[in-house]
Structure 1
Amino acid sequence: MASLDQQAVSYVARAQMMVDRARKLVIADRVDTIDLLANRRQCLGEHFKLYQVFKHTKIFNPIVEFGAGSSKIVARSMKMDCLELGETYRAYVDRWLRLKPQEWRSYQRDMLAIAEVLSTHLATELTSMKQLLTISQFYRR
């Protein structure tokens, strides 16, 4: 079985790949892919749900319960950031649930903005999770 670190990397890599593929279609001005993009938003949302369950149950919650003082604070903060971003992403999906071709320009701006937020968050979160896992391994010794 893969380590928690490796599992987190895998979740983040898949999410980033999904974001990047959609971003390329939007940058290429592919209005003809509206239905595909709707499907991809849903797939990404489902992937984020699995990732959220993983990181909360396997990383954040155990560290909040058993970790060192400063790690607990970081893990709690990361949990809150995760939940907040989840709400932001759900609102984005809801906004564009029935995207029409005449709304493309607004969607394009919004999609590129959320893609940047997601990419930045994923990278930062992965780095922080790796640090938390390293610290927790140190304290187990």
Structure 2
Amino acid sequence: MQANRPFAEFFNQQRDVLSVLDRARPLFNATYDEAWPRLAEFRVELTARMRDFQRYKHEVIFDPIIRGNVGDRAIVVALKSDCIALGIQYDSFRQQWAKADVQANWPQYRLSAISMMTKIREAFSDQDARVRTL
């Protein structure tokens, strides 16, 4: 049972990130003026949760398995690589829109944000399936 604690926390943190996406998604049906102030709060929360989740996965799950050189090492190396790639995609998304006039480009921002949310969900679904094999 003790060995499953890191994985239980993995799934809890994953659910926490997905919860932020679930709560933010309805705002993309609103106007810029209605959505933007609230979206700022969600961006801060999402960024912090994703950062904490990535740190947790790497330090508690991925790195110990990689150092242990056990049979699951190849799976975990791929998981870690994919996790880093998702983090880079999310950072790029944030940086792109931090420099843009979101109000003037609200329709494009909405589509870009929804696309990023979908990428996160798909990556987490894939991660979830692979972590369950460990």
Same fold by TM-score greater than 0.5: yes
Count of residues paired in the alignment: 130
Q: Which residue of 1 aligns with 2:89?
A: 88
Q: Give yes or no for the alignment of 1:23 onto 2:45.
A: no
TM-score by length of 1: 0.84
CA distance in 2, matches of 1:99, 1:124: 33
Give unmatched runs, 5+ long, in structure 2: none
How far did residue 55 of structure 1 move?
0.6
TM-score by length of 2: 0.88
| Runs of 4+ that moved beyond 6 A | none
Contact 2:102 2:109 in 1 (8 A): no
Q: Which residue of 2 aligns with 1:76?
A: 77
Give unmatched runs, 5+ long, in structure 1: 133-141
Contact 2:79 2:127 in 1 (8 A): yes
CA distance in 2, matches of 1:57, 1:119: 22
Q: Give yes or no for the alignment of 1:105 onto 2:107.
A: yes
Cα gap change, 1:20 to 1:99, in 2 (>3 Å) = farther
How far did residue 101 of structure 1 move?
1.8
How far did residue 87 of structure 1 move?
0.7
Q: Give yes or no for the alignment of 1:62 onto 2:64.
A: yes
Q: Which residue of 1 aligns with 2:7?
A: 5
Report Cα offsets for 1:17-64 as digits up to 9, x if no partner: 1112212211x2342221221221121111111111111011101111
Q: Which residue of 2 aligns with 1:135?
A: none
**What is the alpha-carbon root mean square deviation over aligned residues?**
1.7
Tell me the secondary structure at the aligned position of residue 131 of structure 1.
coil
